[in-house]
Structure 1
């Protein structure tokens, strides 16, 4: 049977790649930008965090309207906005103007995960969902891996301004492909009939009859009243804090620790993210093979979330390592742990949500929780670095949050997320574990 849904998976993976290339660009170009605008570590911490302010504000509203407007329109509009904002960053003249561009970029990027969740639910059979969600989320590591080197080379050769303009143009090229090729599996002409039938039959589960497409969405109040939601939201918050600490401050950390040039910093930053891309997909494939449908629908994937968070605690050893190769190995393990834990936690949104029309709203809540905590990571780290002169306490804070997240995931992320307006089908009332 054909696997043309793989092209859809590749499309949503690539949009997250572009998303994170745009995010990491400021971190890689931080040294010349800080020098040109005269910015302190604290000021850079706020600037690193700034795109998340509008990102977080826009997540829930976007999650509420994705189903009504459609994932194709929402994703396309968001990409157009953040790509233009990224390109305009290259034309900024002071802290205020670059801050404005970052705020616009954050608002546009808030579309990617809610829309992506709906695309995965519509296009991907349940048995492939862990791998595809991890691939989708792996754009968060592929983006920095590719972007760090690409931006570092552009900055070294042409300066930081052309780097942002080039990234903006890249996003607009992707937008053209999205507009031409993407659509729902029921209607796209390029999808073979056999594959279409498989997608429609298995996207809600192999042994679950199809769910009425006209079932009303659950209210936000109903969603937030479910303990499982809070387990997913709060554990995501602790995972994303560590992820954003590295996404925003790793280039500066490597420059400070290893005394690197801008280009070498980009190269060394890309290594952990490339390793994470390979390891994360391998771990996700193993999890999909080992988890039974019953375990998936009862929250069994949380054990993989917690295992990955435990590996993230290796960040505590970073300050003790003086060997460059060993330091990169430890950072690779920590970044892999953070990204894979996040991907598994996001996969549980579709694992546990009974009404597919609720998936974008639930995803928005979970991503909101993660980024609401993640946005403070660059700021807190900026203060820590300025006060202590190092990163030791930044790593300790992130580790303490991970321990809290492990407990919350194990105790709360257990049950189904029932639909508000219909009674759960008998096959879907799974006992929690």
Structure 2
């Protein structure tokens, strides 16, 4: 059988990669921007956080629109808006216009994760969900890895404004390919009949060891009555705090505390992000193998989520080393842990949601939970640096949240998100 659905993984990987390239562009250019607009640590903290405000605000409405109007149109609209806002950042002339560009970018980017969850549910058989979700999420680490090197060099050569034009332009290339090639598996002409039948037959199927889940109430209010949805959202928040600490403050930390140049900062940052891409996909594959005997419906993927979060808590060791080589290893382990946590948590959401009708809305809620913590991270870090003159406590807070997230996912995600489960007590407790 052909594996043309693999192109969907390529689309999702590149969508996430472009998303995060545009996010980290500001962090790479932080030093010249702070100098030009005369911003201190607290001011930069608010600027780093600003796109998350609109991102979180638009997530749930975007999820509703995606469930209603479909993935093709809404993904196209989202990437058009955020790519245009990124490119136009090059034209800003004041702190206020820079903030506005970031807010518009955040609104457009709110389409990305709900789109990814919906497309995976439409296109991917249940027993491949973990690895494809990991491929999608690993794009969010490939973006910073690529961007750190390329944009760091561009800024050193031609200044920070050129870097935003190039970062924004890449999104329009993706948009053209998406509009030409993407459709649902039922309508995609480039898909063989045999592969289409497999996708449609197995995308909502459980493996032989799972029991059926009877349809329950539909819509976000019904889902919000589930303890599991709140557990997934809190877990995501504890993880995303560290993700945004790295995404926004890592280049500044390397330049201020480790005295690296902008170009060297890009090269140093790229290594742990690149490691996270490869190891995150490997972790997703392992989680699918782990669930082969028991099936995805048991929710056992939560154990892998907890293990990934505890791996990410290696960030607690950062204040105790001054060696750049050791620091590189710690950052690589931490980013692998948080990358794997996000992809596995997203896959767990799909595992625990018996029906695809509310996938985008449920994903939007979980991502909102994550980004409430995410919007706090850059600002809190700015205040911590201003108060202590050090990044040590910033890394400590992030590590403790990862430990708290591991406890949360193990204790709060014990039941399906909706419907009436027909699971044995032994399966539920697994």
Choose 398-407 or 35-44, whichever is displaced more: 398-407
How far, CA to CA, are the matches of 2:426 and 2:135 in structure 1? 27
How far, CA to CA, are the matches of 2:333 and 2:289 in structure 1? 22
Q: Which residue of 2 aligns with 1:147?
A: 147
Q: Which residue of 2 aligns with 1:199?
A: 199
How far, CA to CA, are the matches of 1:301 and 1:73 in structure 2? 32
How far, CA to CA, are the matches of 1:70 and 1:429 in structure 2? 37
8 Å CA contact 1:79–1:171 kept in 2: the answer is yes
Q: Which residue of 2 aligns with 1:305?
A: 305
Q: Which residue of 2 aligns with 1:281?
A: 281
CA deviation after TM superposition for structure 1 residue 219, in Å: 2.1
Q: Which residue of 1 aligns with 2:186?
A: 186
Label 1:133 to 1:293 Cα distance change in 2 as closer, same or farther (>3 A): farther
Q: 1:70-122 deviations in whole A, cap 9, x for unaligned?
A: 11111100000000000000000111001000000000000011111110000
Q: Which residue of 2 aligns with 1:171?
A: 171
How far, CA to CA, are the matches of 2:187 and 2:424 in structure 1? 28
8 Å CA contact 1:294–1:430 kept in 2: the answer is no
8 Å CA contact 2:130–2:285 kept in 1: the answer is yes
How far, CA to CA, are the matches of 1:351 and 1:4 in structure 2? 23
CA deviation after TM superposition for structure 1 residue 16, in Å: 0.5
How far, CA to CA, are the matches of 2:289 and 2:282 in structure 1? 11
8 Å CA contact 2:206–2:297 kept in 1: the answer is no
8 Å CA contact 2:71–2:118 kept in 1: the answer is yes
- Residues 326-337 of structure 1: pairs in structure 2 closer than 5 A: 326-337=326-337
- Residues 74-153 of structure 1: pairs in structure 2 closer than 5 A: 74-153=74-153
Q: Which residue of 2 aligns with 1:377?
A: 377
CA deviation after TM superposition for structure 1 residue 187, in Å: 0.6
CA deviation after TM superposition for structure 1 residue 264, in Å: 0.8
Q: Which residue of 2 aligns with 1:249?
A: 249
Q: Which residue of 2 aligns with 1:12?
A: 12
* Structure 1: runs of 5 or more not aligned: none
CA RMSD of aligned residues (A): 1.9
How far, CA to CA, are the matches of 2:216 and 2:119 in structure 1? 18
TM-score by length of 2: 0.96
Work out whether 1:404 is the aligned partner of 2:404.
yes
Q: Which residue of 2 aligns with 1:56?
A: 56
Between the two proteins, the alignment pairs up a number of residues equal to: 426
Q: Which residue of 2 aligns with 1:232?
A: 232
How far, CA to CA, are the matches of 1:40 and 1:257 in structure 2? 16
8 Å CA contact 1:88–1:101 kept in 2: the answer is yes
Q: Which residue of 2 aligns with 1:296?
A: 296
Q: Which residue of 2 aligns with 1:432?
A: 428
Give the secondary structure class of the aligned counterpart of 1:375: helix
8 Å CA contact 2:207–2:295 kept in 1: the answer is no
Label 1:18 to 1:127 Cα distance change in 2 as closer, same or farther (>3 A): same
Give the secondary structure class of the aligned counterpart of 1:398: helix
Give the secondary structure class of the aligned counterpart of 1:390: coil
8 Å CA contact 2:206–2:296 kept in 1: the answer is no
Q: Which residue of 2 aligns with 1:324?
A: 324
Give the secondary structure class of the aligned counterpart of 1:190: coil
Label 1:317 to 1:429 Cα distance change in 2 as closer, same or farther (>3 A): closer
* Structure 2: runs of 5 or more not aligned: none
CA deviation after TM superposition for structure 1 residue 403, in Å: 2.2
How far, CA to CA, are the matches of 2:191 and 2:273 in structure 1? 33
How far, CA to CA, are the matches of 1:272 and 1:431 in structure 2? 37
8 Å CA contact 1:311–1:333 kept in 2: the answer is yes
